[in-house]
Structures are given as structure tokens and as C-alpha cells.
Chain A
């Protein structure tokens, strides 16, 4: 056992380290990857809370048919800003900016990322873009009402703050590109001696595949949004058929980015789960190479399936079956991962601690999200449920049930390392149960509602849908309460919790071999890697 061997050494942790600046400035001008990670954590946590409140407001509106707490136009603004905040400011940056920043360098045995100042700059760009996005909600023409997808030609015509919102998404994209670039160079150049690509832990592998997508796909949304802005400002007819444009071109360009972007959300999540499962089963990862390479395969094939969002748009028939085929192909590497996680657990000595609870619920919810994705990927069923609540349920199962639960798993797994403090397990388990129940109550009814024909993005509905909508709203309230309880427990842990040992879970990857919280430069001496990271039976 390697428990606590490093605990007694005197050192200054990154939290106490005295740099050039004092107080708040020592954080917002920090170039230490760990401090930047915490900056992202606090920013993204706040945005998530704002987005969740907007979501809850929508659910309250839908508690009964007809107008309840807001006007239709307000509802349109709220679902749009909810989407923009959650997608561009929470789930796309989420795992890679917070846990990628904190743990990627440590897991590959490096002192920092390749470009620490660029890393800080990315955070500032992220904050600038986020401020713009939030401003679009309050500026004089009213919040954008296009949905986060900004579909033309409506987005070229509506009088609301579309330009501010798209500029925000454009700026946020820059932050994403720079972070991806930074991580790519870090992984290529800064691995510890002896760490070959196939000795890397699997979270860095996932971050690597993600970083390629961030670097290559994000410029496409940038150009697309610029085209949209140009069309609005100068009346250039890219998308508006009245001006000779093609509205389907917008959908192509939008989804060429946004489908790969869904893998920016889920790949790091899969990476987190792949770290947690072997630790809590004390088992070597089953099929290390298959997991590493399936991340790359998902990233690659994921670039070629965007048209499954457009089956009903008027795209050619040939394109439709082609995209459907590729959509089924991309599900294969995802299924390989699920198979490998479950095989890793087989005959392991399973320890049901909070991180593992979140990790297994990730697998459960991801399976539901993934298989309903296939239902949407086949053209015949898609035509039936496209633009209904079914799609909303699908992507919330994947994004919240997947990326969200992975984020919660990650914070419960790595918080003792990040702050050197432990949270209360009992409260963590209770919060998990509330969140899990609330989540399923909130989103499962939407599968059924969608099948029955309840459209998405509607402020009103026929009385026959009310039962489902009410259950869903109750689920939303439960979910948000569970979330608040979880955050309370974590904050109490950080402030008043027991000191955490260096290796509380008996993990075998590099972050557990250094003190908690880590020293500023992570390692006293550069580690030399001789073996596979998952050194269990």
C-alpha cells in the first residue's frame, strides 16, 4: 500500500503559494494550471446555477397548460439563453477546462501545460464571452429567441439581440480553440520520461481526442456565426432564400461544428469514468488500447455524422441515408467503452463510494441516452420524433446524465486532491440519490411526451400532456434541491472537512503519488514512467 507515504513532508501547496501578486490578483492573474482550473470551476459552477434557474423557470411555466408565470416571448428568450449558457459556457468547456487543466499535466508527469500564459488568456477570453452572452439577455432589444441553434432564416430576421449572442459564442469559441491547442502541445511535448502514448492514463487520452475536435471544429462555427452577422448587418444573402441564399447551408455549417461539439462534451466525461472505475474496483482497465483508440475513433467519425440533425430539413435523400449509416457506425466505439467499463468491474472488489456511485449512474444514463440516439439516427423513427420532447430527453440524458454526472463524479473523486480536504460521505450519498431520482423524474416523461407528439420549445400544450409535464416539473424541483445539497456538502468539506491523505482511494495514477493539495510545481523530481498507469490485479 502506498497510503500516506508522502503526507509528512513539509511543502507549500499551490493554494498557499506566494507569487507575484496578493489576494484576488494572485488568482485572476495566476498562470499555474491548478489555479486556472479552480477559476474555471468557480465561473462554470456559477453559470451552471444561472442556467439551472432558467431551466426551472421553464418547467414552472409548463406546470399547467396556458400562460402560468411568463409570456410566450419571455419563454422563447429563456430557452435560448438557457441553451447558450449550458452548451457554450458549461458543458463544452466544463470537464476539459476544469479537470483537464488541473489533472492533465499531473497525470502525464508535467509541471504545467505547455503555454501557461496562453492558458490564463483563454480563461479571460472565456469570461469576456460569457459576459457578452449574459448581456444579450438584458440588452434593449430583448433576449435572442432563436434557440441555441440560431437557425436561419429566422435568425437573420428577428429583431432580438442575436448579434450579441452570436458574438459571444464566437468569442467563447476562441477560448475553446486556445485550450485545445494548449493541451495538444502539452501532450505531445511534456510527457514525463518513459511515458509513451500507450502509457498515458486514459483521461489524458480522452482530453487528447477532445483537443483535436476543439482545434479543428470550432473555427467552423466561428465562420458560420460571422456569416450570420454579416447577413444581418449588410444584407448579404448567404442563408436567406429571399436574397438568393440557402437556409439549409446554415444547418450544414452549424452542425458540422455542433455535432463534433457534443463529443467535446462527452469524451472527457468518458475519460473521467475510465479513471474512476479501475480505482474503485481495484482492477486493471479491461482493454486499455480499445478505450484509448475508441476515443480517437469517436473524434474522427464524429466529424462525419452531422446530417442526422437535418433529416427533415429538405436535404437530399442520398445524404440522408449516408448520414444515417455513419451515425450507426459512430455508436460502435461508444458501445466498446461501455463494454470495457463493465468488464473492468467484473470480479473487482467494488467499493461503493460517492465517486463510484456517480460513475455507475453515468453508465446507466449514458446507455439510455445512447440507445435513444440510435432511435433518432434511423430516418423513419426520426421523422416521427424530430423536434419533439423526445429529442430534449435524449440529449439531456446524454449531456446531463452523461457529462453532468461525470462532472459530479470527477469533483467527488478529485476534490480531496484539489483542496486537501474530505467531504462527508453520508451526505454525498444522500445528495446523489436525490439527484438521480430528480433527474429521471424530470427527463424520462419527456421521452413519452415526445412520442405522443409534444413539440419542443413550446410554451403551451394540450391538456392531454399535463400529467407528464407535471411529473417532469416535480422532478426538476427535486433535482435542483439535490444539486444545492451536493454543493453545500462539498463546500462544507472544503471549509471544515477532515484533511485528506495523499491517496484516499488507493489509486495508482500519478496524481495520487503527490501530496494533497499538490505543490505548485506538482513534482519534486520529474517522475520516470516504467509501466502502465493502472497497476492493479
Chain B
């Protein structure tokens, strides 16, 4: 049978994560005032990716789940990246 243990995260940890998330949001907005050309989107996506990582790990408790589950969730993101990448084999060479 699967693990039935539930993990209770400390409020302090949750608050700190929340602060980091808000800081990242602020960062996403503020970089739009610099002209970074194509990198604007890249950086915004990187920050957004980091934020989802935090939400998944702490708010959704993935950090405290079994290794199997963490691997499965990671595979989903790898798959997504692959699909985007492969689509661009078409767009970059057309």
C-alpha cells in the first residue's frame, strides 16, 4: 500500500516561500522596463518556472512525497519541454 503519512509544513517556511514568490512577481514586472530584446520573454519564463517549482514543492507538498512521485512529476515537465522543442524543429527551419 502507499504511504499514508501526511506532512505538516511550518508556517515560517510557508511565509518565506510566499515572500520569495511575491519578490519574483515584482521582478517579472520590473524587468519589462529594461530592453533585453528576445531575452525578456526568456527571463520571464525562467522566473515563472522557478515560481512553479516553489509552489509544487512547498505548497503542493511534492518535496515531502515519495521519490517515485517526484520523478513522475518531473517527467511531465521534460515531456512538455520536448514537445515544444520538437515543434520548433518545424518553425526554425521553415
A216 contacts which chain B residues (CB < 8 A)?
A: 76, 79
* Given A188-B2, A191-B1, A216-B76: A316 touches B83 (CB 8 Å cut-off): no
Interface flag for A491 (CB, 8 Å): no
0/1 per residue, A393-416, Cβ < 8 Å to B? 000000000000000000000000
B10 contacts which chain A residues (CB < 8 A)?
A: none
Q: Are B90 and A248 in contact (CB under 8 A)?
A: yes
Q: How many Cβ-Cβ contacts under 8 Å join chain A to chain B? A: 41
Q: Are A189 and B86 in contact (CB under 8 A)?
A: no
Residue of B whose beta carbon sits closest to that of A191: B1
Footprint of B on A, CB under 8 Å?
A: 188-189, 191, 193, 216, 248, 252, 256, 300, 303-304, 307, 314-319, 322
Main DSSP-derived SS at the A contact region: helix
Chain A nearest CB from B4 CB (Å) reads 9
- Going nearest first, the 3 A-B pairs with the smallest beta carbon separation are A316-B93, A319-B90, A316-B94
- The answer for the CA separation of A252 and B89 in the assembled complex, in Å, is 12
Interface flag for B87 (CB, 8 Å): yes
A252 contacts which chain B residues (CB < 8 A)?
A: 87, 90
A256 contacts which chain B residues (CB < 8 A)?
A: 83, 87
Footprint of A on B, CB under 8 Å?
A: 1-2, 69, 76, 79, 82-83, 86-87, 89-94
* Given A252-B87, A303-B79, A322-B86: A189 touches B93 (CB 8 Å cut-off): no
- Which of these, A248, A304, A314, A315, contacts B82 with CB under 8 Å? A304
13 contacts between A and B (CB under 8 A): A191-B1, A300-B79, A304-B82, A304-B83, A315-B90, A316-B92, A316-B93, A316-B94, A317-B93, A318-B89, A319-B86, A319-B89, A319-B93
A319 contacts which chain B residues (CB < 8 A)?
A: 86, 89-90, 93
Chain B nearest CB from A103 CB (Å) reads 20
A193 contacts which chain B residues (CB < 8 A)?
A: 1
B79 contacts which chain A residues (CB < 8 A)?
A: 216, 300, 303
| Most A-side CB within 10 Å, residue of B87, B90, B93 | B90
Residue of B whose beta carbon sits closest to that of A252: B87
